[in-house]
Structure 1
Amino acid sequence: MDYLITEGYPSAAEKFAAEANIQPKADFSYIQERVQIRDSIYRGDLQAAIELINELNPELLDLDKRLHFSLLRLQLVELIRQSFSSPDPSLVGKAIEFAQKNLAPYAPLEAQFKIDLERAMALLIVPRDSWTSGVSSGPSGQSASQVQNDFGALAELVDPSLRRKVAKEVNEAILQSQDQRREANIRYLVRARSWAEQLAREKKVDLPDHLSLGLDGGDSAKDSQNGHNGDTEMTENGGEDNSINAYAEMARYAHVAS
């Protein structure tokens, strides 16, 4: 239940609560608000997403500059994408104007903001053929390789995974603003298990070459709907970041003395 609520599966959470005959503590309307924001980001409609975030919490983006910048940069990428897919020549100018008005003020605040803005603006010099052939084909299989060839170091900016990454950041920020955990407990436990295995191997503990988490085959459903209940995925289920600085916290989960 914790995972379904935190990750944004309202229909599945309701069904689980009904079948388990339990009363969920969370208000499902709040989950649906996060899902609507996520869906807007997945569609590339960043303006709608920002408006929904401001309706939910008017101070969130003002207080979290990095999150706001990530949303605005993704919006710029989508505007540039539209300018190359449309015969309207004025869209390029609109993308540049958007960058000057909304993103340029962030550049003096932090060096990384300037770097990220420059990389996004570099998309304007990518040949039109690269946009129409590579990006329109989708992110999987041969087309992913084609995108990499066409965009080089900028490929990550036009890959749909960037939308998922930003949606994940937004989901976690909203949860934190509502005094909830940023992630479901199961994610911490999976990382703790991975950390404990790594520690055991470093200490030469006798372990099998491969210890399965029982999650094999889950990647194929990453971008699909959650069963047939109408919930789409709120955050990435793929590669978790194993670089955990909170050693004591990991030791507590894994019952390993620090």
Structure 2
Amino acid sequence: MASSTATATPSRLNTFERPPLRTDFEKRVDDVKPMKSDINALILDYLTTEGYPSAAARFSKEANLNPQQEEESVKARQAIQHSIHLGSIQDAIEALNELEPQVLENDPALHFSLLRLQLVELIRSCNTTPGSDITPALNFATTQLAPRAPANPEFLEDLERTMALLIFPSDNLEPQLAALLHPDLRRSVADKVNKAILQSQNKRRDAAIRDLVHLRAWAENSARDGKKAIPDSIGLGLDGDNDDRVDGDDDNIHGDGSHAHEAMMMT
């Protein structure tokens, strides 16, 4: 006689995964309801501080907020940054001296950075034009940078490194030299100039969102150091995923503001 084996039927409760338990931290986050007006003010502050005059003007009207700075002042800062991004350093220096003449007088390091970038642009032009005369670059280095270099060892080192661009082929440079020709150098100098202008106008040098990102990173690191019960990964929530963590810096906010601007825009 054939025997039959009973097959156990799994319980219906086991066919569905139970949702993960929410931590106290996540519950507290969900309980926080920031006011829309505060978020809008934060966005306007970013657009104004980073130098987006048209966007700031439109957003202030749409969000019914008063402008944080005069539009002409923001436009002037934007124009200077734009010139630097294009490599038109002399135009930027002239515009900066017209807007805030004391900035370069009071900040030799910033002045040297601009002049060094101007030398880089002259050398870039020489390298991209076959048979180009390097005399203008040599004369500029001799008259504008060499007299300033002895005042600071870093100036001298920067000048020597920049002059090396005239010696080595541009398509076979070591990383330190290649970095001088990368657009990131223009962006870095433009950001320094923007902050210097804001400081001279008694304005905050950085947008509030950047301070908040740093504060958030500090709070998370402090909580982890204190063995607090928080999730393994905490996203910023800007893109709806967990790939936007900040580990102590604001690298997730692009230098051009695109990430934070697009993600946070709301009216």
Question: Scaled by the length of structure 2, what TM-score is found?
Answer: 0.72
Query: Following the alignment from structure 1 to structure 2, what is the Cα–Cα distance between the partners of residues 71 and 96?
Result: 16
Residue of structure 2 in register with 1:115 after alignment: 157
Residue of structure 2 in register with 1:62 after alignment: 105
Query: Following the alignment from structure 1 to structure 2, what is the Cα–Cα distance between the partners of residues 237 and 116?
Result: 32
Residue of structure 1 in register with 2:3 after alignment: none
1:110-189 aligned at under 5 Å gives the runs 110-127=152-169, 130=171, 150-189=173-212
Residue of structure 1 in register with 2:234 after alignment: 211
Query: Following the alignment from structure 1 to structure 2, what is the Cα–Cα distance between the partners of residues 237 and 180?
Result: 23
Residue of structure 1 in register with 2:91 after alignment: 48
Query: Following the alignment from structure 2 to structure 1, what is the Cα–Cα distance between the partners of residues 60 and 176?
Result: 45
Q: Given the alignment, which residue of 147, 150, 156 partners 1:105?
A: 147
CA gap 1:89/1:16 in 2 versus in 1, 3 angstroms: closer
Q: CA deviation at 1:206?
A: 2.4
Query: Following the alignment from structure 1 to structure 2, what is the Cα–Cα distance between the partners of residues 14 and 220?
Result: 25
Alpha-carbon displacement from aligned partner over 1:189-227 (angstroms, at most 9, x marks no partner): 11011111112212222222211112458989958xxxx
- Letter of the aligned partner of 1:38 in structure 2? Q
Query: Following the alignment from structure 1 to structure 2, what is the Cα–Cα distance between the partners of residues 236 and 107?
Result: 36
Matched, 1:37 2:80: yes
Query: Following the alignment from structure 1 to structure 2, what is the Cα–Cα distance between the partners of residues 214 and 37?
Result: 33
Q: CA deviation at 1:21?
A: 1.9
SS at match of 1:105: coil
- Letter of the aligned partner of 1:205 in structure 2? K
- Letter of the aligned partner of 1:11 in structure 2? S
Larger radius of gyration: 2
Q: CA deviation at 1:88?
A: 4.5
Query: Following the alignment from structure 1 to structure 2, what is the Cα–Cα distance between the partners of residues 215 and 23?
Result: 25
SS at match of 1:108: helix
CA gap 1:19/1:190 in 2 versus in 1, 3 angstroms: same
- Letter of the aligned partner of 1:163 in structure 2? R
Q: What is the CA RMSD across the aligned residues, in angstroms?
A: 2.3
| Structure 2, unaligned runs of 5 or more | 1-43, 245-250, 261-267
Q: CA deviation at 1:28?
A: 0.4
Matched, 1:13 2:56: yes
Q: CA deviation at 1:41?
A: 0.4
Query: Following the alignment from structure 1 to structure 2, what is the Cα–Cα distance between the partners of residues 119 and 86?
Result: 21
| Structure 1, unaligned runs of 5 or more | 131-148, 224-232, 239-258
Q: Given the alignment, which residue of 125, 134, 137 partners 1:82?
A: 125
Query: Following the alignment from structure 1 to structure 2, what is the Cα–Cα distance between the partners of residues 52 and 207?
Result: 50
CA gap 1:184/1:106 in 2 versus in 1, 3 angstroms: same
Query: Following the alignment from structure 2 to structure 1, what is the Cα–Cα distance between the partners of residues 97 and 136?
Result: 23
- Letter of the aligned partner of 1:122 in structure 2? A
Native 8 Å contact 2:195 2:206 kept in 1: yes
Counting matched residue pairs gives 208
Native 8 Å contact 1:72 1:103 kept in 2: yes
- Letter of the aligned partner of 1:32 in structure 2? K
Residue of structure 2 in register with 1:96 after alignment: 138
Structure 1 or 2: larger helix share? 1
1:189-228 aligned at under 5 Å gives the runs 189-216=212-239, 222=254
